[in-house]
Homo-oligomer: A and B are copies of this chain.
Amino acid sequence: MTKKLNSDPVCAVDYAFQRIGGKYKGRIIWYLHTYTVLRYGELKRSIVGITPKMLTQTLRELEEDDLVIRRVYSEVPPKVEYTLTESAKELIPFIDHLREWGDKRMGNYKIICQ
Chain A residues in the interface with B (C-beta under 8 A): 8-17, 19-22, 26-27, 30, 48-49, 87, 90-91, 93-95, 97-103, 105-106, 109, 111-114
Residues A11 and B97 in contact in the complex (CB < 8 Å), given A17-B26, A21-B17, A87-B105: no
> A20 contacts which chain B residues (CB < 8 A)?
98
* CA distance in complex: A98, B16 (Å): 6
User: From residue A12, how far is it (CB to closest CB) to chain B in Å?
Assistant: 4
Q: What 9 A-B pairs have minimum CB-CB distances, sorted nearest first?
A: A11-B113, A16-B102, A12-B102, A12-B103, A15-B102, A16-B98, A94-B94, A17-B26, A12-B99
Tell me if A's interface is mostly helix, strand, loop or mixed: helix
Complex: A87 Cα to B100 Cα, angstroms: 12
Shortest CB distance A102–B (Å)? 3
Return A65 CB to nearest CB of chain B, in Å.
9
